[in-house]
Chains A and B, each alone.
Chain A
Amino acid sequence: MDTDLSSQDRKDLDKFIKFFALKTVQVIVQARLGEKICTRSSSSPTGSDWFNLAIKDIPEVTHEAKKALAGQLPAVGRSMCVEISLKTSEGDSMELEIWCLEMNEKCDKEIKVSYTVYNRLSLLLKSLLAITRVTPAYRLSRKQGHEYVILYRIYFGEVQLSGLGEGFQTVRVGTVGTPVGTITLSCAYRINLAFMSTRQFERTPPIMGIIIDHFVDRPYPSSSPMHPCNYRAGEDNGAVYPSVEDSQEVCTTSFSTSPPSQPAALGVGSADMGYPVLFAGGLHAAHPHQLIGPGKEGGVPPIPSQPAHGTQADQERMCTPLDGVHYSAATPSSSEDTETVSNSSEGKCGSPHDLLETIFVRKVGAFVNKPINQVTMANLDIPFAMFAPKNVELEDNDPMVNPPDSPETESPLQGSLHSEGSSGSSTGNTHDDFVMIDFKPAFSKDDILPMDLGTFYREFQNPPQLSSLSIDIGAQSMAEDLDSLPEKLAVHEKNVKEFDAFVETLQ
């Protein structure tokens, strides 16, 4: 038996593996875009639907994948990996999963390339479609928007799993034996989604003039949400990246029912392999606009027009459409060092008017605004100034960020709102008694204007008494009530049966 692969079979196999790798990347990235995917079945083969599956090709994703592959194919020791990570609006990022397309040395010499391998690769892609929806990152990606986005990165070489944290799990999507090795597709995913903050307290300066909310109407026309985030100016959608169709390669759509010994007739185009690509490492543009899903809930946070968060941003592509961006650095008022990703949205001051205050300002607490490097007690015009840390670097000491364990009010502002009669008391630190400080409500300047926020607070804390509760009238009505009680009781006793029937209907 001829165990050596014929040159035609070899060419076909290489082409299948190449396009399988490209389609794998498309399936994974599209599954993390945050939208529901829908493609149509077609009874007539089109010749461009590899593996008889309708998987759309996003040109930029194909381009990135080809760059990563650099003309090579997955082989022993050279795996193609797609890394999916999450990046919060504060710049923290976390790897969620790594999808690996690997090849090992176990060969199946007798398998038919043009038929069996092709069909099994098709089956493996279907399995990938199913598995990409069951890992935890899928649900996260469907909820991406304001607080975080999902990014992808393609690399070629050795698999790097260290970023997944402890106890990551793996799921094998499937394997396909070929005459040159066994293709294995698997996923390693993080299970510990508690957000281990690696935030550096020395942050890069906030990005200026960028908006957090993609779809909210904003009063600033210069920050229109529809600006594509683009590292290369003047780039048109789709004009830069060659689509798969340009490759002049047709996929196999014809098969033969002849016995295996006879040569199969295939509708395969030229096996042109040459894609001169280099492994991606430099600056890239973000996705073109066409990826924006019109019905996307909550909008998408754009990314800065210049990389703001180090080299990581350079190498990572957004899985969502991007515009000029701002990530408000507002931390939740109850934030601690570790917070789960799902809680990262709580307590955020996301309303548009906050943006006026967040630009140029680093927020360390929800109710504390302080400019960078200017934190002194003397010139702080903030409520509850005594809670502001003396040193901006020591965010650990900031009770707004790291509330002390010892008994404390839920937030100083709440404490003041609930105080009885006093205009501005709040609990001091645990060692002191009540300290009277001037009542300065959040977001309020000095009480210069009448009917300012402070005035409102004072008034609603001390509302006038209800007339029915005033003593004189109250006393009179009380006496009347008492007198009329026996009559009312008699009436109710008469109607006992009605009440009972009513209660029955409720059960």
Chain B
Amino acid sequence: MNCRAEVLEVSVEGRQVEEAMLAVLHTVLLHRSTGKFHYKKEGTYSIGTVGTQDVDCDFIDFAYVRVSSEELDRALRKAVGEFKDALRGSGSDGMGQISLEFYQKKKSRWPFSDECIPWELWTIKVNVVNLANEQERQICREKVGEKLCEKIINIVEVMNRHEYLPKMPTQSEVDNVFDTSLKDVQPYLYKISYQITDSLGTSVTTTMRRLIKDTLAL
């Protein structure tokens, strides 16, 4: 199966990195999360309810909607925080990318570990700019806000193509498709990784895995 890949690019000021990344990641996860599944007898299941909430950005003239789940928000903030710190680190000229990958697990027989098969990959390329004065910052606030609006429209357009989505799993398979560790919502299995382009042009890959019932490689 081919993995659907989408790339978004943004140029932001340093202090806007976190909010811009969260806005994009939360918008994607809003579309890729369902309510909690409750399996009943006879192969039926019911689905819980997903709440949403508005988030206003402090450094960007922008607002977005995210899933009402503090656990999910914390996980994303942790990943974005690490990305932001890495971007600031030495050797970086302010360029990097953060990736959100949705995958399915395919059980393999012992002694092989389960395979992770990605089915959708979102990559956000970030270019951090330095601004000289307050007037430029104000312009940047508005411009980045407009750019993010365009990105949200792009994301929605992709989501509504109704391309491949994993089949709804049976109870025994649900953990191969969904992240069932959260108590209030159920996103598809995902992981976030990032790359920083250092000044030499080489990339330093750091992967932060976010897996439930993780199977360690032998």
- Nearest-CB residue, chain A, relative to B53: A38
| A139-B145 Cα distance, complex, nearest whole Å | 11
Kindly list chain B residues whose C-beta atoms are within 8 Å of the C-beta of A126.
Answer: 30-31, 50, 52
Is A254 in contact with chain B by the CB < 8 A criterion?
yes
Q: How far is the CA of A277 from the CA of B68 in the complex (A)?
A: 35
B51 x A54 contact (CB < 8 A): yes
Of A123, A133, A171, A174, which one neighbours B65 at CB under 8 angstroms?
A: A133
Cβ A41 vs Cβ B185 within 8 A: yes
Taking CB atoms, residues of chain B closer than 8 Å to A131 are 152-153, 156
Q: When the two chains form their complex, are residues B51 and A45 in contact, meaning their CB atoms are under 8 A apart?
A: no
Across-interface contacts of B44 in A (CB, < 8 A)? 254-258, 264-265
Are B30 and A253 touching (Cβ within 8 A)? no
**By the criterion CB–CB under 8 Å, are B61 and A130 in contact?**
no
Q: Contacting B46 at CB < 8 Å: which of A120, A123, A133, A267?
A: A267
Give A236-269 as 1s and 0s: 1 = Cβ < 8 Å from B's Cβ atoms: 0000000000000000011111100000110100
Assuming the contacts A45-B49, A52-B50, A257-B169, asked whether A129 and B149 have C-beta atoms less than 8 A apart, the reply is: no
Tell yes or no: B134 within 8 A of A by CB: no
Asked if B49 contacts A52 (CB within 8 A), the reply is yes
Q: Is residue B144 contacting chain A, with contact meaning CB distance below 8 A?
A: no
Shortest CB–CB separation between residue B87 and chain A, in angstroms?
25
Say whether A254 contacts B46, CB under 8 Å. yes
Is B168 engaged at the interface, CB distance under 8 Å to the other chain? yes
The reply to whether A45 and B63 contact each other, CB–CB distance below 8 Å, is no
Determine the chain A residues whose CB is within 8 A of the CB of B68 once the complex forms: 38-41, 54
Q: What residue in chain A is nearest B61 (Cβ atoms)?
A: A139
Q: Does B160 have its Cβ within 8 Å of any Cβ on chain A?
A: yes
Q: Which residues of A contact B169 (CB under 8 A)?
A: 257
- Is the Cβ of B63 less than 8 Å from the Cβ of A138? yes
Contacting residues, chain B, for A373 (C-beta < 8 A): none
**Contact between chains at A43 and B183 (CB < 8 Å):** yes
Specify the chain A residue showing the minimal Cβ separation from B150: A134
Contact of A133 among B43, B45, B54, B162 (CB under 8 A): B54
Give residues 34-72 of B contacting A (CB, 8 Å): 34-36, 38, 40, 42-54, 56, 61, 63-65, 67-69
Q: Cβ of B211: which chain A residues have Cβ within 8 Å of it?
A: none
Query: A131 to B64, alpha carbons, bound, how many Å?
Result: 9
- Across the interface, do A255 and B168 meet the contact criterion of CB distance under 8 Å? yes
Q: Once the chains are docked, how many angstroms separate the CA of A258 from the CA of B167? A: 11
Quick check: A127 and B160 within 8 Å, CB to CB? yes
| Residue ID in chain A nearest B36 by CB atoms | A43
- Bound Cα distance from A443 to B144, whole angstroms: 45
In the complex where A45-B35, A127-B31, A130-B64 touch, is A254 in contact with B40 (Cβ < 8 A)?
yes
CB <8 Å contact, A127 and B156? yes
**Is B121's beta carbon under 8 Å from chain A?**
no
From B54, B149, B157, B159, contact of A134 by CB (8 A): B149
Asked whether A69 is an interface residue with its Cβ less than 8 Å from the other chain, the reply is no
CB-contact partner of B52 in A129, A171, A176, under 8 A:
A129
Query: Which partner residue on chain B sits nearest A35 by CB separation?
Result: B54
**Hey, what's the 0/1 contact readout for A134-158 against B, CB within 8 Å counting as 1?**
1100110010000000000000000
Asked if residues B35 and A41 are in contact (CB atoms below 8 Å), the reply is: yes
Over the window 420-448 of chain A, the binary record of Cβ atoms lying under 8 Å from chain B Cβ atoms (1 yes, 0 no) is 00000000000000000000000000000
How close is A219's CB to chain B, nearest CB, in angstroms? 35
Contact of A36 with B53 in the complex, beta carbons under 8 Å: yes
A256 to B52, CA, bound (A): 26
Bound Cα distance A127, B160 (Å): 8
Closest residue of chain A to B31, judged by CB?
A126
Question: Is B10 among interface residues, defined by CB-CB distance under 8 A?
Answer: no
Chain B residues with CB under 8 Å of A41's CB are 35, 48-51, 67-69, 184-185
Residue B54 contacts which of A37, A43, A124, A139 (CB distance < 8 angstroms)?
A37
- Residue ID in chain A nearest B146 by CB atoms: A134
9 contacts between A and B (CB under 8 A): A37-B65, A41-B49, A41-B50, A45-B48, A124-B160, A130-B27, A172-B160, A175-B160, A257-B44
Q: A131-B153, A139-B61, A264-B44 are in contact. List 10 more A-B contacts (CB 8 A).
A: A39-B68, A42-B49, A43-B184, A45-B49, A52-B34, A53-B52, A124-B160, A172-B157, A254-B44, A254-B46
Closest 5 CB pairs of A and B: A174-B160, A134-B149, A38-B53, A39-B51, A36-B54
